Structure 1
Amino acid sequence: MNSSSLKPSRSYNSDLLLLVVYWLLASPIIYSSYRHDFGVERALAGILYTILLDSAAVYLLVFRFLPLALQRRNAVVVLASITVFVVLDAHCYLFGYQLLFSKHPLHWSAQEVLNSIIQHTQSYGMLGILMAGKRYFEVQKRLLQTQKAQTESELRNLKAQIDPHFLFNNLNVLRGLIQQDPAEANAYLGRFANLYRFLIRHKDDDFVTMAEELQFVNEYIYLLRHRFGAAYSFRQELAEAAELERLLVVPGTLQLLVENAIKHNAGDEDDALLITIKVTETELVVWHALRPKLTPVDSTGLGLSNLRERYKLLFNKAIGVENSGAVFSVTVPMVRQAQTWSAA
């Protein structure tokens, strides 16, 4: 039996438990009142009748009429059904209690019925409030669980979309180095392994510290320099007040922004394209001059779009993108972790 089939059973069991606890607490109070006025036998019969009538009334209101109202069914039909129920319930209340406790003939005047409606509403009101409140919190809990599951599913899908093409580019560089400079190829392979060790280590993480992200991008920049020589240069501006071990970002944020800059902009060894990485206490900014490549690069825009969605899902914050025509910049918000948090 799967977990989904067990949830309704657990809910019904907890409803029953609430009902039992309520009547265990309420019955002595009702009994003392009835016993003083009507004696032991009638008091016990009155309690039993109260339990049955009030429980039935709450069940119908909370588990039948309330769901119909929330589902926005025909309002006239729902209202008419509730009205009929209230009137019939009042007659049951009036009939039962006059039969148990009154020596006078039954009266079915409008005033008697109205008084019966008011008295019985007071009788089962607290139980109804408790049961409806419990149902409300259960619905809210299920809603939060559903939203969490949906968010986790979306994040898994976004992670699966990360473009791995830079893997093949670096393997090609490594092949060339092996043929030309085996010693350098060995060093390159070590840095390449560090990069992928980071990816594997954090493949299931939603965020990493800024210190870890900078370490990762430094390994990535080392690989880029072997591919492009001095065509691209990099500068890091780290605010002294920024606590890199406590600032959180989505894994691979810097790698994606650096890769995006190189993919769309031409570098030149005589006039390198400067890519600046700036970290403040609240945000990460990457910017560079615009030098569009002569041959347009095929791009789906998936990388930046992916990053936007992940920050929106995880932090409920937006990434800022500015294109002035001369400079392109991306601003990524960061969050500060609690002192007790430690990276996996």
Structure 2
Amino acid sequence: MNTKLDKSDYIILTVFYLISITLNIFDYLDQDATLLEYLVDIPMFVITSLSGVLLFMYFIIPRFLLKKKNYILFALYGLLVITSIGIIERVVGFSTGNNDWSKFPKLGNLILYAIFNGSDSIGLALGILITKKFYEGQTQISKIKEQQKENELKLLRSQINPHFLFNNLNTLDSLIDSNPEKAKEYINKLSLIYRYLIKTKDAEVMELSSEIELAKNYIFLIKTRFGKDYEFTIEENMALVDKFIPTGALQSLLENVVKHNKSNGTKPIKTTIQINEGWLMITNTKSKVIAQQESFGTGLKNLETRYQLLSDEKIQILNTDTKFEVFIPIMKLQGT
């Protein structure tokens, strides 16, 4: 759940506090409150209530409930904020009402009153916001999942796309006569790719080491088919154990290189895959010759959508006249 407040949230809070101020004014009229109580108590209620709401939405809920899932600290910090707000409102209200301080509640009663009053001050506003955020989050997740499923169906359909098979069969046809051993290796790599795609079609994420192996097999197909038009380098600058990326992400990025770049015959398209702590970066040189290769992936948009469900990190893209870079976050599953 995204707890950061947007424009609509502030509009809701504004309406809420306008209604609350109106009700407080009528209540004070019934009590024949002094002018000081109007000028101090009502603004103080808005300030303390809004402060409590912001503390919950920007600090307590995201840090202790969503990130750490530490329910004890969440409860303690929440109780501390509610009690503090209640005490402030009680002290201010007692002062503006010209009350006898000898009748001020003792510590035990003060804390009980503070908890009740603080909960009343921020509870309704906070509840409205949390409910709104929850349903917004559920709606967004439903839309993303729907798009995800649609993309997965497109991916599965395109994996058996006759154009992809046709291109590979053409490559095999030429290899069988010219280089039978290479043809056998090509068939083996192609079968490994299809076996992996079928095996992982329902997996959201896969181990980075497995994705690297898929990428190596896919690179073999590219280099066999296009010869020296493409050059690939893989730099593993960290251990791949317990590291994950979305299934097929690297293959999709490699496919993107071939789809959008074609060598001019004298200068190859150079692609580097760097695996660093927290990020996988794929960089390729660009050409002015547009390739017209059949795509059987769902591309960057699909990858960006998947990361919305899988990680708080986002894909980063750097596109210049000479190179195209994509940074994708490397994930660690909870408990690993």
Instruction: Give the structure-2-normalised TM-score.
Output: 0.54
1:166 is displaced (CA, Å) by 5.4
Paired letter, 1:210 = L
Aligned residues between the structures: 242
Q: Work out whether 1:153 is the aligned partner of 2:147.
A: no
Report SS of the residue matched to 1:257: helix
Contact 1:233–1:274 (CA<8 Å) still a contact in 2? Answer: yes
1:200 is displaced (CA, Å) by 1.1
Counterparts in 2 of 1:87 and 1:309: CA distance versus 1, 3 Å: farther
Unaligned runs of 5+ in 1: 1-66, 89-112
Partner of 1:208: 206
Say which of 157, 166, 171 aligns to 1:172: 166
1:173 is displaced (CA, Å) by 3.4
Partner of 1:80: 25
1:233 is displaced (CA, Å) by 2.9
Structure 2 distance, partners of 1:266, 1:68, is 55
Structure 1 distance, partners of 2:117, 2:283, is 61
Unaligned runs of 5+ in 2: 1-11, 34-96
Report SS of the residue matched to 1:161: helix
Partner of 2:282: 286
Contact 1:151–1:313 (CA<8 Å) still a contact in 2? Answer: no
Contact 1:264–1:292 (CA<8 Å) still a contact in 2? Answer: no
Residues 108-257 of structure 1: pairs in structure 2 closer than 5 A: 126-130=115-119, 138-139=127-128, 142-143=131-132, 145-146=134-135, 148-159=137-148, 160-161=150-151, 164=155, 165=158, 167-168=160-161, 169-173=163-167, 175-176=169-170, 184=184, 187=188, 190-202=191-203, 205=204, 207-225=205-223, 227-239=225-237, 242-257=238-253
Counterparts in 2 of 1:69 and 1:276: CA distance versus 1, 3 Å: closer
RMSD between aligned alpha carbons?
Answer: 4.5
1:334 is displaced (CA, Å) by 2.7
Structure 1 distance, partners of 2:232, 2:13, is 63
Counterparts in 2 of 1:85 and 1:209: CA distance versus 1, 3 Å: farther
Counterparts in 2 of 1:294 and 1:176: CA distance versus 1, 3 Å: closer
Partner of 1:274: 270
Contact 2:271–2:284 (CA<8 Å) still a contact in 1? Answer: yes
Partner of 2:66: none
Instruction: Give the structure-1-normalised TM-score.
Output: 0.53
Deviates more, 1:252-261 or 1:320-329: 320-329
Paired letter, 2:144 = L
Residues 315-330 of structure 1: pairs in structure 2 closer than 5 A: 315-330=311-326
Contact 1:234–1:274 (CA<8 Å) still a contact in 2? Answer: yes
1:262 is displaced (CA, Å) by 0.7
Paired letter, 2:280 = L
Structure 2 distance, partners of 1:290, 1:150, is 39
Contact 1:312–1:318 (CA<8 Å) still a contact in 2? Answer: yes
Structure 2 distance, partners of 1:265, 1:223, is 16
Q: Percent identity?
A: 19
Structure 1 distance, partners of 2:187, 2:121, is 68
Contact 2:16–2:125 (CA<8 Å) still a contact in 1? Answer: no
User: Highest Rg: 1 or 2?
Assistant: 1
Report SS of the residue matched to 1:328: strand
Counterparts in 2 of 1:267 and 1:85: CA distance versus 1, 3 Å: farther
Q: Work out whether 1:259 is the aligned partner of 2:204.
A: no
Contact 1:229–1:269 (CA<8 Å) still a contact in 2? Answer: no
Counterparts in 2 of 1:306 and 1:229: CA distance versus 1, 3 Å: same
Structure 2 distance, partners of 1:139, 1:75, is 14
